[in-house]
Structure 1
Amino acid sequence: MKSILFIVGVLWLFAAEILRVYFIMPFPGSQQMNSIDLAYFISTHIVLLRLIGYALISYPILEYYRGKAWFPKLIVVLLGIAYIAVFYLFNYRFQADKMFYKAQHQWFANATNDTTYKNSLVIGVVINGIAKAYPLQIIGYHHQIADSIGSVPILVTYCTVCRTGRVYSPEVNGKKETFRLVGMDHFNAMFEDSTTKSWWRQATGEAIAGPLKGQQLKELPCNQLTLAAWLMEYPNSLILQPDEKFKKQYAELKNYDKGTVKSKLEKRDSASWKPKSWVVGIIQHNKAKAYDWNTLTQQQVLNDEIDNEPIAIVLESDTASFHAFHTDFGNNVLRFQKYANNLLIDTTTHTIWNMAGECVEGPSKGARLQPVQCYQEFWHSWKTFHPNTMVYR
């Protein structure tokens, strides 16, 4: 009986430590499971689960050391060493926030003093006329940057395995919340709030486990484009500068912008509609649609509609910066094609527009198109979190 208790207790302890991390990190097979509820249960009850395991093995160990046989004692010592190793690895090395740390020294520079390569991709945010840019190479490692623009707190997030950039208000139930990176679900980063310990999905801003399950963070508008394109529109923008402590980690993402990074989880599939091929995703009235990046690169302008609302997706000459706009304008539905020097021409009214959606030539000069929030991400991510998505062919 004591041997059975000992074996069960040992397996229980090893399973508790390993599975707590296995389900929420990219181990083989872990991210294909719908195991988030089980993962959350193990994580929130880990102390109790350990105590149960310790209780199961305490009596057998005591009996082994009372006996004269040396072999059971040796087994206890070896398994004890193995458990300590597993405990250390899965609590201090393999957890997400022990692999990806928050930036400790956060500072910004203007365009004159900025050190960022101008073709680098950034997430740009404008609030009340104040603009800031956050390079993917920086937020891609940290996964989140807690900041404020003016008096408005924001949470800039990025998941390199999904290629998803999102900006949220960090206020939860009227309180400014702080978050830590806790792991991932279906390859998408998850954050845990410090108050309720709920888990929040990065790609959607939804709480998927914990007391606040089902609640949604408020999303804030943002753009993904090159820093050069961003500064053309917002020359007074501030740009997040690298934290010198993490130079090595940033260097590992040097080629991430172009999709040629070495990591298999983050490297782009160049063919269309493969798991890690790039798409542009748009949601209108809860209806999602995906546009192949290769098609956008070839055509440069895609005129389409979602839920009977006409839109256009346009690609700048740098083949990296993109925008989307509502194209119902006055009594017309505008249809665009590329003109010259990063300009668009509407084939209906023959007016000229720039990449900011502003009319620069024609009767409507000075008018602006309403922007549409759009995202560039991996196809596997978009279809996972928008299973009913339409596809532009």
Structure 2
Amino acid sequence: MSQGGMPWPGERARVPVGAAYDVVIGHDLLGAVGELLPPTAARALLVHTGRLPGVVAAVRESLVGKGIRVVDGLVPDAEAAKTIEVAARLWEVLGRESFTRTDVVVGVGGGTVTDLAGWVAAAWLRGVGFINVPTTVLAMVDAAVGGKTGINTAEGKNLVGAFHEPLGVVCDLDVLGGLPEVDFAAGMAEVIKAGFIDDPLILEIIEADPGAARRVGSQTVELIERAVAMKARVVSADLREAGLREILNYGHTLGHAIEQHAAYAMRHGEAVSIGMVFAAELAHRSGLIDDVLLQRHRDVLGSAGLPTRYADASLEELLVAMSRDKKTRGSTLRFVVLEGLAQPTRLIGPSSELLSAAYAGLG
């Protein structure tokens, strides 16, 4: 049920974190985005890249239908949106338009847009409401859910940000129809991650039908809902990443380092796919998992068209970026690994010999 009491069409996962919010998954949902608005809102900053004019128009119409004055916040595409300069420009707009604590920010787009919109909302007047309308698989299952917001710096990805929960998240699967297969699959890397760390049925669905990880189909609602439900469970138990939530970073320590080294030219999901294989290599060489589970990583990710090998940088180059990872404590690297299927744990301070051997396994 939305905040306005309107029954939502389609599937729905409820994320009970703090002031609990809905993650709504289904079809033909854009016209109901306005239902998530607080009754006191008078203005909305609509943050988007301009690449999906039909989607933006539908969201704008839904907001206007609730009597909201909508202000456009056009931003660059991809990681170029997640800079302090872009955020500052949006804050200037909020100031000029006299946005108050009862007004809202609405992010329509991929994960970079929802990350940015959430950070802008978190910092303005020390926190105003925001709504996420993710338009990619990656944003639906990862960036738009869980209350993490942030921007990048030259030193690394997502190093500046805040925990700030949305008023709601609307995942309209109709917007995925025009998504290129390579982008759909990259988003599915985060769904597959959920399968390895928590919900093996996700892996079974994809193993039975690898096409489900490449394009919208009959399994899409279930795959996305399962990934969102997994993240909801983890975030509900650990909003601020004090312990359990760290498991969501499976594959991300090396993945973020690869992204930074590639100047964000590689898709996030592709980098995380490589990072998961690296984590599996670390676990295998530490005696935590067997050959079968290691190979299952390569098989499932490869069947989705995701990369499982990497040789475009030296380990030494990537270690510089990994040393700035948010999970690092002092000079000690920490990796999320498995000690069995759906049994995540932490590998703290692996030796240089283990790191080198695992990285060689990616070659």
Normalised by the shorter chain, which TM-score bucket? under 0.3
The structure richer in strand per residue is 1
When normalised by structure 2's length, the TM-score is 0.27
Larger radius of gyration: 1
The structure richer in helix per residue is 2
